[in-house]
Structure 1
Amino acid sequence: MSWKSLLAIGISFIVIVSWAAIHGRAALPATDKATEKLVIRQIGHQLLLQAGDSSSRVLPVEERANKEYLIRFAAPFTFLPDTLVATVRRLIAANSLPSSYLVEVIHCAPSAEVIYGFQIHKDKARNVIPCLGRQQEKACYNIRIRFTETKAAGMDPFASGLLAGSLVAILISLLFRALYLRKGRTADKAVNMPALDNSTGITMEITGLQNIQPDLPPSAIKREVPAPSGIAIGNLLFLPESQQLIAGTSIIPLTAKEAKLLHVFANAQQKVIDRDQLLKEVWEDEGVIVGRSLDMFVSKLRKKLQADPSVSILNVHGKGYKLVIGQMTC
């Protein structure tokens, strides 16, 4: 077989690969928007849970032009800006959505007044996050999220990949040609098996490309791990199932009782919780309730929550305790 025939085979290979890639690309479903909608809906779900509402519905997410989405709710709710910001940033980052976006909380029609908003950029120095620490009144709200990140001008990733694949195919064709010509010059030597002739010290030639990419062991295959589902407490993330408190890159372990007690506080942030309610929800299944146990575990929790100075548990005299997040800055 001449080198011209090999080159023709290489070009044919390029054409076939290009056609298959274009055809396969056209057949791919538009998963990006579907993923974005699911993540946006999850944001609404988390906000209702953090407001203590586990039964109201998050209405279907409305997709608008220019990468904009609207979250609507079936019932009024209240929210803390700190929690809203932390929840949105965590879920968007965990699901690899665009890192530049604008979030606005809007009163339901007819006023459609923007009552709170913040903007996140790739460049953190440009982030705009105003008025943290102020609990918003319970009302009918919609949340509008618009992704503002734009792709840099340049070659389309698909075109770049196709070009790279074509170049690889051409290089393979030329390599086959070189090996073929070399084989013609060394026809008297053994081929097709890499081996060493111990009597002459001559290394035999390789005429095929085999085992270029060895199979990887199953342990080397990267698997995606779903982002942990937790509750935002200021700049902390509480994971009830694993009994952990995440503070940046640090993991603070909790005992079973500490996690159970913090779960009650996390579901009623900024609200006074009666001592009897805390004792009932955390210790009722043990049969014997000791009031001092509550004070002791609250003290332990306070120490662990010090990882975020804006988070504290206050003792409300004659009533109970209150989980407070942030200071009133506006």
Structure 2
Amino acid sequence: MLCQVFPNNYQQQLDEKRQRLTSLIPSMADNLSVFASPPAHYRQRAEFRIWHTPERLFYAMFDPANPKQPVEVEACPMACEAIDQLMQPLLALISQNEVLKNGLFEIDFLATLSGEMLVTLIYRRKLDEQAWLQAAQGLREGLPINHLIGRSRKQKILLDQDFVIERLRADNQAWLFQQIENSFTQPNAQMAQNMLAWAREQSRKIVADQASDLLELYCGNGHFSIALADIFDKVLATEISKSSVKSAQFNLAQNQIENVTVVKMAAEEVALALQGQAFNRMADVDLNRYNFKTIFVDPPRSGLDDLTRGMAANYQHILYISCNPDTLARDLETLLQTHQIQAAALFDQFPYSHHLESGVWLTRKPA
């Protein structure tokens, strides 16, 4: 059923993912660490359609086999307990208020391990801002909600702010991360902490042999850059999304990190810049000051493009976080011609689905 969990079958589905990954990329099998998710209440983010009947409202999801028929969701044990416990009390109060109820199309939840809750109400109609703000204020006062947003086409109303601050931990350290509503965040926060810990473990091994600066592509909001900053001498992190770059800079300030520079550039542009092509966005960055021995990539599902894949092969060490084993396998066909796998990991970010995330540390083969 939609939004349900099956703890008794969790280990079996994890074993199947491991088999799928190692069948696709046999070279990962000997050095593979497997990180299991909590079997329930693992998502810090959830989105639900709201279905209206003459009698009531209900949360709805749609089965791909019958996409026109809504399936009522009374509870969602995939979601963290804070979201799961908030769902019905929230909808009950909304149902009693015409301003909040009329035209409501979707409710999105964003929660943190550190205890914040942000709820977004999305409408098919233009909102009366003052009436909605007054109603939303009363709604928030009666529920464990920190931040509330109203959205409709070309309209976004904030009760106060559009982000939460997450605190993620690894290696007895903690970092603060701004997570903006309607932007990408790691949905499984426990697994995100495992990913940080694994990346730190491999990075310490890298710098144990030789001091290194780090080049990171697709840095997002600085998730890995910030957690690895104390291991590398300097970090140059790049990201194409303007909002993610702004959030990364916010996060660097929150964590008082001064050895990371974030630049708004696509991975392909970074490759060209390293070949000597001038970019205005790199005007304040002296690439000659960096001693890059390590590159960190966390690309989208499409994986690395040809130019970036070729650039990565020039580095002594490659740390690759993948959200698509098929494109990772394709990229490794090239990278394993010059490099060998030292460590690999499977991160079960999305239990009970075909999705899996993985990590690989590669080092250049001896000449």
Range into which the TM-score falls when normalised by the shorter chain: under 0.3
Q: Tell me which protein shows more strand as a share of its residues.
A: 2
Relative to total residues, which structure has the larger helix share, 1 or 2?
Answer: 1
Greater CA radius of gyration, 1 or 2? 1
TM-score normalised by length of structure 2: 0.23
